[in-house]
Structure 1
Amino acid sequence: MAGPVEDDHVDVVGMWVTADGHIRQELLPEGRYEEARGGRAGAYTGRYTVTGSHLDYVDDTGFTATGDIRDGVLHHEHLVLYRE
């Protein structure tokens, strides 16, 4: 389950993982993220912001994505990630 709501923002900091463990996304407290895919650590890195339960991502290459926390689950584009 996602952490408590503070100032209307869901606490998303920590490791989020797909059910099969293939994708691991670590949301760091300073607004950065690191995503591993399979054995490839640092496959994607960038920054994120949280507004309520919505996340906006900007990859270091400029690629953008979004996500939402629903019932403690992170729905990130086509991925479903669970807090580890």
Structure 2
Amino acid sequence: MQDTKLPIYWQRALVVAGIITIFPATTTAQTAPNIGDNAMAEHPYVGMWVTKDGLIRHELLPNNRYDEARGERKSAYQGRYQVTGNYIEYWDDTGFTADGEFIDGVLYHGGMVLYRNKE
């Protein structure tokens, strides 16, 4: 009998607005970054990222936490993140996971396009 188990990279996937996002088949505990330190303090991606219309504001904090505001709703989503090269993984405090990629100074995340806030 042939083994029909999917490769590890297909074991967890999310489809949002026609975009397939693949998540590693690992537990949060295995991949979670260290929390409580400022290991990312000097990282070039730390800071505020916003959509062109300014409705979504995504702040990457130096302690590997993020705080996302949507419209008038401050701290709509919070959690932790880990950057590996230009790839970013998120673990929301509610258990939701997501990822994104930095390309030419732009953050592509969950179907959104966010730009570095210059202020």
TM score, norm. by length of structure 2: 0.62
Corresponding position: 1:14 with 2:47: yes
What pairs up with 1:70-81 in 2 under 5 angstroms?
A: 70-81=103-114
Q: Which amino acid aligns with 1:23?
A: I
Task: Give the number of equivalent residue pairs.
Answer: 75
Shift of residue 11 of structure 1?
2.2
Unaligned runs of 5+ in 2: 1-42
Considering only aligned residues, what root-mean-square deviation do their CA atoms show, in Å? 0.8
**For residues 39 and 56 of structure 1, what CA distance do their matches in structure 2 show?**
25
Match of 2:29 in 1: none
Is the strand fraction higher in 1 or 2?
A: 1
- 1:35-81 CA-partner distances (Å, limit 9, x unpaired): 00000001000000000000000000010000100000000120000
Letter of the 1:67 counterpart:
G
For 2:52, the aligned partner's letter is: A
Specify the alignment match of 1:62 in structure 2: 95
In 1, Cα distance between equivalents of 2:92 and 2:58: 13
Higher fraction of helix: 2
Partner of 1:30: 63
Percent identical pairs in the alignment equals: 63
Amino acid of the residue matched to residue 76 of structure 1? Answer: H
Distance 1:72 1:42 in 2: 24
TM-score, length-scaled by structure 1: 0.87
**Which residue of 2 is the match for residue 42 of structure 1?**
75
